[in-house]
């Protein structure tokens, strides 16, 4: 059995697309004679990033990571993130002429610019240096591949995502619908994900005041939850939901919204569509690669128009629009990218 050592700066119990992707790949890898071991921040004492409690910073020495890599004796190394652990592993591989691959999950330049006003050009130069030392960098979509290619990132490989259709399937539940829509308004508009500034939730929440006939529901948690719940008391904030319960929230909404302009993909888009619920979003990387206008939702620079158009979608056509997105295909691309590192 081949051993892959994955180094990531985010892991469960954190809830995000990176963790979701690798958890699913680990399941499939075992069926394909691959064993993925993980070095992650919760193996060490860690502290919280100021002003963003969801991000953990491991307090660990470079030598400790080197010893873990040597002790693992992997056939392949893949670095998933550009945090402390990612940089330690990257520097070890470069110093010892050890081939490795990376994946680009997060638009850190946009993230840091929105939170701390750090110039994007500066961050991109650092991130580009990180990834260009690898044999290959996996990117989520063709749009993302072109965008990074234009910024002089090298050796880019388009990488898909998948969705668990056994879990995320249409499941009508009268009780859940009642919790989401206690005043029995005309439509339920759903958001699922982190409740934080970079997700562009302010614009979505403002729409709730203009659309009194719709009930807005924000599933998740994050640093903006308290502020938004006070500022928009009519919006329902049920907290994080997972698995079958989350599928019921998708299924009992009339439309999901993906308001972020800075994500590299959008796993929640696939989950919603798999449950038969259309998705509204902006015409940016991620939504425009997944959503088929007038079939599985709509993308538009005006989010209210995107929502209105999405509500008109034929639910019988929605689910069939994402058949090409599977975890098996995701694993095949990952496996192909690392085989050449032997």
247 found inside a domain: yes
pLDDT band at 182; cut points 50, 70, 90: very high
Q: What is the pLDDT of residue 116?
A: 78
| CATH code of 117's domain | 3.40.50.2000
DSSP string, 271-319: HHHHTT--EEE-SSTTHHHH--BTTTEEE-SSHHHHHHHHTTS-HHHHG
First vs last C-alpha separation in the chain: 14
Range of the domain at 89: 2-162+326-339
Q: What is the arithmetic mean of pLDDT over 263-277?
A: 96
Q: What is the arithmetic mean of pLDDT over 176-200?
A: 95
Q: What is the pLDDT of residue 285?
A: 92
Q: What is the pLDDT of residue 30?
A: 87
For residues 38 and 18, what is the distance between their CA atoms, to the nearest angstrom? 13
Q: What is the arithmetic mean of pLDDT over 218-245?
A: 96
Q: What is the arithmetic mean of pLDDT over 11-21?
A: 93
pLDDT band at 72; cut points 50, 70, 90: very high
For residues 99 and 136, what is the distance between their CA atoms, to the nearest angstrom? 10
127 with 213, same domain? no
Q: What is the arithmetic mean of pLDDT over 117-122?
A: 90
Q: What is the pLDDT of residue 328?
A: 95
Q: What is the pLDDT of residue 125?
A: 96
189 found inside a domain: yes
19 with 119, same domain? yes
213 with 145, same domain? no
pLDDT band at 342; cut points 50, 70, 90: low
For residues 308 and 124, what is the distance between their CA atoms, to the nearest angstrom? 36
For residues 224 and 210, what is the distance between their CA atoms, to the nearest angstrom? 21
- 258, 280 contact by CB (below 8 A): yes
Average per-residue pLDDT in the chain? 94
Q: What is the arithmetic mean of pLDDT over 13-27?
A: 93
112 found inside a domain: yes
108 found inside a domain: yes
212 with 122, same domain? no
* Alpha helices (runs of H) in the chain, residue ranges in sequence order: 17-31, 62-72, 84-95, 108-116, 120-132, 142-150, 174-180, 201-210, 225-231, 243-251, 267-274, 287-290, 303-310, 315-318, 327-339
Q: What is the pLDDT of residue 51?
A: 67
Q: What is the pLDDT of residue 55?
A: 83
126 with 179, same domain? no
Question: Which of 51-55, 73-77, 135-139, 288-292 has the weakest average pLDDT?
Answer: 51-55
Give every CB contact of residue 115 below 8 A, 6+ residues apart in sequence: 51, 52, 197, 198
209 with 181, same domain? yes
Q: What is the arithmetic mean of pLDDT over 145-155?
A: 97
36 with 75, same domain? yes
95 with 214, same domain? no
140 with 205, same domain? no
224 with 89, same domain? no
Q: What is the arithmetic mean of pLDDT over 262-267?
A: 93
Q: How many helices (H) and strands (E) does the chain have?
A: 15, 14
9 with 158, same domain? yes
169 found inside a domain: no
For residues 40 and 59, what is the distance between their CA atoms, to the nearest angstrom? 12
Q: How many domains does the chain have?
A: 2
Q: What is the pLDDT of residue 110?
A: 87
37 found inside a domain: yes
How do residues 287-339 score in pLDDT, each as one tens digit? 999 999 999 999 999 999 999 999 999 888 999 999 999 999 999 999 998 87
167 found inside a domain: no
User: In the predicted model, is pLDDT for residue 142 greater than 90?
Assistant: yes
168 found inside a domain: no
75 with 110, same domain? yes
Q: What are phi and psi of 217, to 5 degrees?
A: -130, 125
pLDDT band at 341; cut points 50, 70, 90: low
User: In the predicted model, is pLDDT for residue 50 greater than 90?
Assistant: no
pLDDT > 70 fraction of the chain, expressed in percent and rounded: 99
Q: Which residues pair with 281 in a beta bridge?
A: 258, 299
pLDDT band at 54; cut points 50, 70, 90: confident
């Amino acid at each position: 059995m081949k051993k892959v050592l994955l180094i990531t700066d985010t892991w469960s119990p954190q809830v995000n697309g990176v963790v979701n992707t690798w958890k699913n790949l680990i399941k499939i890898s075992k069926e394909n004679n691959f064993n993925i071991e993980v070095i992650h921040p919760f193996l060490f004492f860690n502290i919280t990033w100021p002003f963003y409690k969801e991000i953990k910073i491991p307090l660990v020495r470079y030598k400790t990571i080197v010893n873990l890599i040597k002790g693992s004796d992997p056939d392949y190394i893949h670095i998933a993130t550009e945090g402390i652990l990612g940089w330690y592993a990257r520097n070890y591989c470069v110093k010892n002429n050890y081939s490795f691959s990376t994946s680009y999950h997060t638009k850190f330049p946009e993230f840091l610019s929105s939170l701390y006003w750090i110039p994007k050009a500066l961050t991109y130069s650092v991130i580009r240096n990180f990834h260009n030392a690898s044999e290959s960098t996996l990117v989520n979509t063709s749009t993302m591949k072109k965008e990074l290619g234009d910024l002089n990132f090298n050796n880019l490989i388009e990488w898909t995502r998948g969705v668990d259709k056994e879990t995320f399937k249409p499941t009508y539940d009268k009780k859940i619908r009642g919790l989401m829509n206690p005043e029995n308004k005309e439509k339920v508009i759903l958001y699922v994900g982190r409740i934080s500034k970079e997700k562009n939730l302010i614009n979505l929440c403002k729409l709730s005041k203009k659309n009194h006939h719709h009930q807005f529901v924000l599933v998740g948690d994050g640093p903006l939850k308290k502020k938004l719940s006070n500022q928009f008391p009519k919006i329902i904030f049920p907290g994080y939901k997972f698995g079958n319960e989350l599928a019921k929230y998708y299924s009992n909404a009339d439309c999901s919204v993906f308001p972020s302009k800075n994500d590299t993909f959008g796993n929640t888009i696939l989950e919603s569509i798999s449950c038969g619920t259309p998705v509204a979003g902006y015409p940016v990387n991620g939504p425009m690669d997944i959503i088929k206008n007038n079939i599985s939702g709509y993308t538009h620079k005006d989010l209210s128009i995107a929502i209105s158009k999405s509500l008109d979608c034929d639910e019988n056509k929605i689910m069939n629009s994402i058949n090409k997105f599977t975890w098996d295909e995701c694993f095949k691309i990952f496996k192909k990218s690392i085989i050449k590192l032997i």
